[in-house]
């Protein structure tokens, strides 16, 4: 927790905010509570959550109520939660000019291949979603194991970049 006893806020960004960023938001909220509170958004939100992402989250007994595809503008407003971390989970969002986030959160790129772009059978798509889910879950577990209080901003930024390469 922070000095003001609030959870640390994390924003997961992707272009469409329909799959990877949504899954990361849900996993972080499940695995990191009460210490962390996660959100997700996209630079060009699709307006819907991918049904394969919802299916996988439900299969893993994670909550899906209230999930929606939303734009990152919601988190750049004055009344939005103060962000402590911003993680891009797709290469397109990492290369885009992001809004200026109030509070100067620490950011890192945790790129994962887009499962929503996979063509083929439903089983092919499910495998792609599982692969993305598994990589994100592993990175979140690594993040949650970091001794945050013992790392300065530079060291923490470096560790977050290393996690993105795992």
- The catalytic residues are 14, 90, 98
Comparing CA positions, the residue from 86, 84, 62, 61 lying closest to residue 72 is: 86
Tokens of 53: 């992402």
Is the sign of the CA dihedral 19, 20, 22, 26 positive or negative?
A: positive
Tokens of 143: 């993040």
User: From CA 102, how far away is CA 80, in angstroms rounded?
Assistant: 9
3-state secondary structure of 98: coil
User: From CA 130, how far away is CA 102, in angstroms rounded?
Assistant: 34
Cα angle vertex 140, ends 62, 36, to 5°? 75
User: From CA 13, how far away is CA 109, in angstroms rounded?
Assistant: 9
Name the DSSP letter for residue 40. E
């Amino acid at each position: 927790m922070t000095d003001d006893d609030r959870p640390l806020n994390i924003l997961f960004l992707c272009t469409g905010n329909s799959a990877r960023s949504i899954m990361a938001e849900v996993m972080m909220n499940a695995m990191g509570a009460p210490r962390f509170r996660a959100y997700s958004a996209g630079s060009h939100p699709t307006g819907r959550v991918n049904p394969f992402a919802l299916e996988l989250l439900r299969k893993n007994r994670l909550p899906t109520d209230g999930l929606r595809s939303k734009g990152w503008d919601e988190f750049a407003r004055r009344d939005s939660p103060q962000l402590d971390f911003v993680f891009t989970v797709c290469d397109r969002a990492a290369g885009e000019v992001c809004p200026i986030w109030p509070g100067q959160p620490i950011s890192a790129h945790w790129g994962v291949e887009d499962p929503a772009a996979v063509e083929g059978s439903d089983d092919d798509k499910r495998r792609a979603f599982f692969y993305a889910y598994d990589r994100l879950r592993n990175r979140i577990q690594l993040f949650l194991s970091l001794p945050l209080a013992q790392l300065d901003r530079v060291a923490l930024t470096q560790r977050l970049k290393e996690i993105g390469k795992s």
